[in-house]
Structure 1
């Protein structure tokens, strides 16, 4: 006796479109982005997540530490503003060039691997496969530079235009703390990790970087002043 296909106990497998039918766009998108049992494929997000979240976090920590370090030896508002702006431009250019070189090396490796596989396939009598999934060095460089600039703009705009020294340093520290916690939580959410642990880890790392920069520059400033006075 043939099984009853219309019963409630039919196996729940994804249905295939019949001949002549077009699959629903939502099903195609879900299949492309979700893993088995409807799970999100977090590994597919790893490359752009690293470039975006880590780039923004790097920009925020670098410029905030630079401004606080300059503030440790110079109380002028213009010095902190210029140093923060210089750090934003230099860091964004450095990130873009480094990402371009890195991704271009990966591009060359993938092209060489694809050409080797095509040659072996042609020798075996099969057709060569097209080059798919090759990274774009220009897109990676632009994304890295924009992410760094976005993160660096937070401490620069929040504290670069305040005249009192204490308010300027406090604004940079406060805005940087909020940004670090936000970037850590966002990266954890997109990567499927714990937002609390990731946010706390990134926040503590940023505080450590700013504290070390301030302490080192302050010690150099005190040592320099002592040598000048003794001379």
Structure 2
């Protein structure tokens, strides 16, 4: 009887570990996606400005502004979204009179933690192109270094996202990489086009 009880306890522990891993994997995947957003959007902004302005200070300031604005936007959006979920679940708990409903209290999401995690993830991704450009004064070399650093980070984020999401690694990494490249190329190209037309009418 005692061995049977011990076996049940072990199974419950394993289930709890599996549940915790699943939740942790979801958070990690969300963090990777947030970091990827920060990486692509900030790098694209910097490439867009770099298409018409070669000054390193302007490029860095643009990237930093994109980091701050993007992190704030991600934090606010996540806070509002999770708080809405929090309110819905809390209202459901009040209607639920069973013991299971009471146990759910510990699983309610934290809007503040979600907002902070989202802002942090975005900022970590955005730092990559900023650091890549910070110490390179030569314009063409700076652009090349940014592209190389962003390419490496895109592959890494694509791989992590695939592993955590249990998706095909190669296909997922290629999608992330091509998507990031397209974002930078399109931003660079359109800004270059508009900038050249501006010079014509100046």
TM-score when scaled to structure 1?
A: 0.78
2:93 aligned residue? 114
2:18 aligned residue? 34
2:53 aligned residue? 74
Aligned with 1:166 (options 95, 120, 140)? 140
Give 1:191 shift.
1.8
What are structure 1's unaligned runs of at least 5 residues?
A: 1-14
Aligned with 2:108 (options 124, 134, 138)? 134
CA RMSD, 1 decimal:
2.4
What are the Cα deviations for residues 152-205 of structure 1, in whole angstroms up to 9, with x where unaligned? 101110113310110111111111111011001011112221111111110000
Which structure shows the higher helix fraction?
2
| Contact 1:55/1:147, CA 8 A, preserved across alignment | yes
Mapping 1:1-231, distance limit 5 Å: 16-18=4-6, 23=9, 29-34=13-18, 42=22, 44-45=23-24, 47-118=26-97, 121=98, 129-130=102-103, 131-228=105-202
CA distance in 2, matches of 1:200, 1:128: 43
Give 1:146 shift.
0.7
CA distance in 1, matches of 2:122, 2:24: 19
CA distance in 1, matches of 2:13, 2:142: 47
What is the count of residue pairs matched by the alignment? 199
What are the Cα deviations for residues 105-155 of structure 1, in whole angstroms up to 9, with x where unaligned? 11001111111223xx5xxxx896342410000110111011011101011
TM-score when scaled to structure 2?
A: 0.89
Bigger relative contact order, structure 1 or 2 (CA pairs below 8 A, ≥6 apart): 2
What are structure 2's unaligned runs of at least 5 residues?
A: none
